Structure 1
Amino acid sequence: MLPSSPVVIGAAAVIALLVLLVVVRRLRAPSSEARESKRAHDAAQEREPPVEIGETYEFGVTELTDHHSGEEVAVGKVEGFVVFTEDIPGDVTKGDVIRAKVLSFNDGRTSADATFVTKA
């Protein structure tokens, strides 16, 4: 039988509270994927974009997503730089290689908007 003195009960409560705090901290900490994404975003803000407005680039489509404009756009990367491509035909799918003309940069110059030119 375990002793039930106030000191033992108090010590057990303190240990339980410390364990609970450690568990909560681990659950709230960013995942390694989130930390890597933050690191990549910070690095992107410090470098010049590897694309130029008005130029056409070829890249693979990594995903299709709804853009803030409400239309579906193809997302891809040029030298790790994210390019959102609008006006894509309905037959473009993830994994396709496309050519797109860069139209503008976002405010932080960490991504660009482009318009579809052709499938590669």
Structure 2
Amino acid sequence: MIPSSPLVIGIAVAVALIALFVLVRRLRGPSAEARESKRAHEAAQRRDAPVEIGETYEFGVTELTDHHSGSEVAVGKVEGFVVFAEDIPGGLEPGDVIRAKVLSFNQGRTSADATFVGRA
């Protein structure tokens, strides 16, 4: 005999809805935002970097984040190319314009690591 209490029916309906939601999400694939991000990443891998190692560039800080090095870094873009500037001073905020010297490219040459040189 199958239990037919409202609680059991409610749980069964909830489980079925969750399973349906997961199935629909898998069938739909990645979101438009995820697809665009992937396209931009692939395009970045195909183009030449607009920065050179040893050169200093000026750019606006778009965000501050924790880098794989464990320290806080300033993130910005030079001609759409992402640059992570390390050794940033306290009080730096998104929107500030800084100068940074490029030290190396990251794997795939889709971004670069740099060191803070000064405020612009």
TM-score of the superposed pair, with normalisation by structure 1: 0.78
Separation of aligned partners in 2, 1:40 and 1:65: 21
Q: How does 1:35-50 map to 2 (within 5 A)?
A: 35-50=35-50
Separation of aligned partners in 2, 1:104 and 1:57: 13
Separation of aligned partners in 1, 2:25 and 2:115: 44
Moved over 2 A (4+): 20-23, 25-29
Q: CA RMSD in A?
A: 2.1
- Cα deviation, residue 33, structure 1: 1.4
CA distance change for structure 1 residues 26 and 107 in 2, over 3 Å: closer, same or farther?
closer
Q: Which residue of 2 aligns with 1:13?
A: none
- Cα deviation, residue 23, structure 1: 6.5
Seq. identity, %:
83
- Cα deviation, residue 114, structure 1: 0.1
Q: Which residue of 2 aligns with 1:73?
A: 73
Equivalent residues, number: 102
Separation of aligned partners in 2, 1:22 and 1:114: 42
Q: How does 1:1-120 map to 2 (within 5 A)?
A: 20=20, 24-25=24-25, 29-120=29-120
Structure 1 unmatched runs, 5+? 1-19
Separation of aligned partners in 2, 1:75 and 1:22: 35
Larger radius of gyration: 1
Deviations 1:21-72 (A, max 9, x none): 8961478521221111101000000011000000000001010000011100
Separation of aligned partners in 2, 1:104 and 1:43: 20
Structure 2 unmatched runs, 5+? 1-19
Deviations 1:3-23 (A, max 9, x none): xxxxxxxxxxxxxxxxx4896
Q: State the secondary structure of the residue aligned to 1:108.
A: helix
CA distance change for structure 1 residues 113 and 22 in 2, over 3 Å: closer, same or farther?
closer
